[in-house]
Amino acid sequence: MNKEEKQNQADALRQELERAKGVLLSGFEGLTVAQDTQLRDRIAKAGGKYRVVKNSLIERAAQGTPVAPVAQKLRGTTSLAYTETDPVAMAKIITAYAKEHPALVFKTGVVEGRVVALADLALITSLPSREALFSKVLFLINAPAQRLASTVAGLARNLAYVIQQGVQEKKFKQGSE
């Protein structure tokens, strides 16, 4: 591969890394091709991408992106998992897969512009999914309106009940008597 092709690959990867909300770097030495393919499929189902990339290409492509601090001085075989949508879902997939296959070793990563270590990854995986967070926020936004509506409905119901009681007990005068 000539220098121009390498630069084109680095530029294409840089564009993907700039758009990524979550990037996780891991070592995969010891995984079989079938296991690697299985991991690739799981990440793809969650809307992410998984690539095995040379360390020098990662370092070159990461320049000027939020991934730059973690792309320096990588050693050994490195795989790159990244997503433009939900970094929590991808982190959960990587963590679960690493438990099933200890050959997959988390190196480092960047989530929403912040460098994450192994301890941070555990915290990230304990978060609910993006959809669950959105539903909780919408519930909290909607709750005061629901309480107000039920209070207003309760007042109207109570007023109607009082009027009904008054009519039954003939407490209201009719017409001009």
pLDDT in tens, 46-75: 889 999 888 888 888 888 888 888 888 788
Residue 177 has pLDDT above 60, yes or no: no
**Nearest alpha-carbon partner for 109 in 20, 36, 174, 172:** 20
Amino acid at 74: L
Check: pTM over 0.85? Answer yes or no.
no
Residue 121 has pLDDT above 80, yes or no: no
Distance CA 97, CA 82 (A): 15
Residue 174 has pLDDT above 70, yes or no: no
- Cross-strand partners of 81: 24, 50
pLDDT at position 119 is: 65
Cβ pair 124, 88 in contact under 8 A: yes
Residue 18 has pLDDT above 90, yes or no: no
Per-residue pLDDT band for 176 (boundaries 50, 70, 90) equals: low
What single DSSP character describes residue 69? G
What single DSSP character describes residue 68? G
pLDDT at position 175 is: 60
Axis-axis angle for helices 87-100, 33-45 (nearest 10): 150
What single DSSP character describes residue 124? H
pLDDT in tens, 20-44: 888 888 888 888 899 999 999 999 9
Residue 87 has pLDDT above 80, yes or no: yes
Residue 85 is inside which H or E element, if any?
A: none
pLDDT at position 41 is: 93
More confident position, 42 or 148: 42
